[in-house]
Amino acid sequence: MESMGLRFPSVLSSFAVLAPLVFACGCGHSQAASPGAAAPKQAATENEVIRFVKNPEPAPAFALRDLDGKPLSLADAKGKIVLLNFWATWCGPCRAEIPDLVDLQKRYADKLEIIALATEEDDADQVRRFVLHSGINYRVAMAPDDVAREYGGVAALPTSFVIDREGRIVQKHIGLNDPTLYERELRAMLGLEVDAKIEYFEDNGQIFLKNAERATELPGVDFSSLTARQKSAALHRMNSSGCNCGCALTLAQCRINDSACRISLALAQRMVAEISGKRMKAPSPDAPNSQAAKPDDSPQN
């Protein structure tokens, strides 16, 4: 099922590259459940793969009140797998996945805790009416800006974090996904039979942007003209230089967080060209400001 994601007006959509994740739109760790648990049985198919972070980090804690005024925190769900879903009532893909989330919560009520955080919403009463009308059977709270920032910034909706029974983020999904994806991941973490191959990947910024400094590749950036030493220097510069698109991220983080950003792409291409010794052609005055610069292969004096 092809993914769809809804982008905020001020921020472009996130990426799904580096390690080949099962992002839709648009986490040695033996399994995503608790250490020592039996490895999940696998009836792997050739085409289905689910991936978890190899060394998952703790999910940022929060203490909120749900729409009923009751305390809500990740600690309340300790021992269960948590699907933390950032969503909005005005987001079409978010609304489309609600029936599947309702069904998943119903069938795995004793093992799964879905927590939905309403994002970019001002009217809690409106959200409450929507929740009642939609028959949502999982807990919902308003998402303060600081919570979204703690989770690396939520650039597109829906964005969901899969959290294991020890409170660690093992996967992140952006956009509207195949409804069976979450169930396959849930079953794998519970040690149940799953019709997919299980793989693990290092978090190079896909989950926590702070880990972008580990990345050896960046979306859309061609390092093939550089030596290994030059590439290392380029990655260092991209992790220490800020992007000027307004994202307040490093250049590397912006490429990871928003592979569609033409500004960060142009800056990254320019850095690669400078390090390789190639001159960049200046964009035509009539070209859009966001157009990426291109290497000039003409002989240099």
DSSP string for 91-132: -HHHHHHHHHHHHHHHHTTTTEEEEEEE-S---HHHHHHHHH
- Are 37 and 101 in the same domain? yes
In a domain, 251, yes or no: yes
Residue ending a domain, among 155, 172, 201, is 201
Q: Give the residue, 109 or 155, on which the prediction is more confident.
A: 109
- Are 194 and 244 in the same domain? no
Question: How far is 231 from 216, CA to CA, in rounded Å?
Answer: 9
Pull the structure tokens for residue 36.
């020592």
- Are 121 and 221 in the same domain? no
Per-residue model confidence as pLDDT tens digits over 235-247: 999 999 999 998 8
From 165-174, 247-256, 274-283, the region with the lowest mean pLDDT? 274-283
Inter-residue contact 4 to 153 (CB < 8 Å): no
The type of residue at 153 is G
Structural element, H or E, at residue 295: strand 294-296
Residue closest to 255 by CA, chosen among 4, 15, 25: 15
- Are 192 and 227 in the same domain? no
Q: Is the pLDDT of residue 287 over 50?
A: no
Looking at residue 292, what is its pLDDT? 45
The type of residue at 240 is S
Q: Is the pLDDT of residue 201 over 80?
A: yes
Average pLDDT (11-15) is 33
From 75-84, 144-153, 279-288, the region with the lowest mean pLDDT? 279-288
Looking at residue 83, what is its pLDDT? 97
From 61-65, 185-189, 201-205, 255-259, the region with the lowest mean pLDDT? 255-259
Beta strand 81-87 pairing with 159-163? antiparallel
Looking at residue 5, what is its pLDDT? 52
In a domain, 151, yes or no: yes
Question: How far is 182 from 44, CA to CA, in rounded Å?
Answer: 16
Residue closest to 57 by CA, chosen among 14, 78, 27, 97: 27
Residue closest to 44 by CA, chosen among 275, 267, 180, 199: 199
- Are 192 and 236 in the same domain? no
Residues written for the chain? 301
Residue closest to 267 by CA, chosen among 300, 201, 233, 221: 221
Looking at residue 18, what is its pLDDT? 34
Angular region, 62: left φ>0, alpha ψ -120 to 50, beta rest = beta
- Are 148 and 174 in the same domain? yes
Pull the structure tokens for residue 259.
């592979």
Q: Is the pLDDT of residue 57 over 70?
A: yes
DSSP-derived secondary structure letter, 163: E
Q: Is the pLDDT of residue 291 over 50?
A: no
- Based on the structure, what is the number of domains in the chain? 2
Question: How far is 98 from 209, CA to CA, in rounded Å?
Answer: 27
Q: Is the pLDDT of residue 198 over 60?
A: yes
- Are 109 and 183 in the same domain? yes
Q: Which domain holds residue 66?
A: 6-201
Report helix, strand or coil for 126. Answer: helix
- Are 237 and 166 in the same domain? no
